Structure 1
Amino acid sequence: MNLTSDRVRSIGWATVLLVCGALTIALTLRVNAVKSQVHDTEKRIVWVQQDIDFLQTEFQTRSNQQALKQLNDLEFGYKAPVAGQYIEGERQLAALGKAAGPGAPEPIRYANAERPVSHETGSTLLAMVSPVAGATAAALPKPAVNASDPEREALERDAAALSKRLARIEVAEAGQQ
C-alpha cells in the first residue's frame, strides 16, 4: 500500500479534526458541569439568605416580645389569666353580677313576638315611652293647639287620609300597571 503525501496529509488533518472535536466535546461537558455546580451554589445561597431573613425576623420578634414584657412589667402590670379566672357556666356568671344601685337605668329589654293590646289606644303597637319623662306619649301633656287654624286642620285631614290609604293593601292585577 502506497501512501502518498496527499493521502498522509488528509489522514493527518482528519486525525487533528477528530482530536479537536473530542476536546471540544470534553470541554463542553466540563463547562456544563461547572454551570450546574454554579446553579446549585446559587440555589443554596438563596436558601441561606431566606434562612437568614427568617432568623432575623424571629430574633426581632422575640426581642420585641421581651421589650413588651419589660414594658408591661414596668408600666401596666398585666398578668396572663390563670385557670381560676375562668367560669364554668351561666350560673357562675350570674353570681358575679351586682344589684343595681340607686338611680341606675333599667336593664335593656328586647322585644318579643307578642304584641299586647294597649288599653289607651286599642292598638296592638307598643306604646312610645319618653326616655326623659318615662311616660307614654298619650300621658304626656299635649301642646296647646289653636282650634281655629284651618291650615293645621287640613294637614291633619291629609295625614288621616294618608294613613288610611297606607293601612290598606291592594293586590294589583297582572295586566294593570
Structure 2
Amino acid sequence: MNVKPTSIPDVLLIEPKVFGDERGFFFESFSQRQWQQATGLNTAFVQHNHSRSLKNVLRGLHYQVQQPQGKLVRVVQGEVFDVAVDIRRSSPTFGQWAGEILSAENKRQLWVPEGFAHGFLVLSESAEFLYQTTDYYAPEHERAIIWNDPDLNIVWPLTGEPNLSAKDRQAKSFREAELFP
C-alpha cells in the first residue's frame, strides 16, 4: 500500500497494490499489519458500513461530538468526491478541507481521522460506498455542518443543486456548529 498525505497531513490517501491481468484483479483492501507499518496508526475498526447513493446525492458534512469516529472510506461501485474538514479548534489546519476523487476504478481509500467532519458527492449515476469506523454510530451525538458553508468554501464538482437529506438541509453553519477543542 502507498500512503500519501493530502493537503491536510492527518488526512491520508491510501493507494493499494493491485494485482491484475485479463481475468480481473486482486488487492488487499485492509491489512492491520500493513496499515500500522504504513501509517504509524494503531487503529481498531469496530463498525463497517455500506451505502448506495444516486448521482448528485451529497451526504454530509457529518461527525460525532462524543464517540468521534475515524473513518477509512472507499468506493466499490461508481465515483464520488470525498471531503474531510478539520473541525479541531487546536489544530493548525482548523477549518481547512481536503477533497479527493474515490472510485471503483482507482481503488483509492481515504483516512478521515477523529475530529473531522466528512461528506461526499456522488459523481457517477450511482455509487456504493464502504467505510470502516473506529467507534460506533451514536445518533444522539451526530452533528452536521451545511455542505455549502461560505467560511469553508468547499469547491464541490457540482452540476446544479445537490440532492440532500432533510437532516443535511437543516445542518448548521461552521460558525454555529459544535466543534472539537
Considering fraction of residues, name the structure with more helix: 1
In our comparison, the structure showing a higher alpha carbon Rg is 1
Q: Point out the structure with the larger strand share.
A: 2
TM-score by length of 1: 0.15
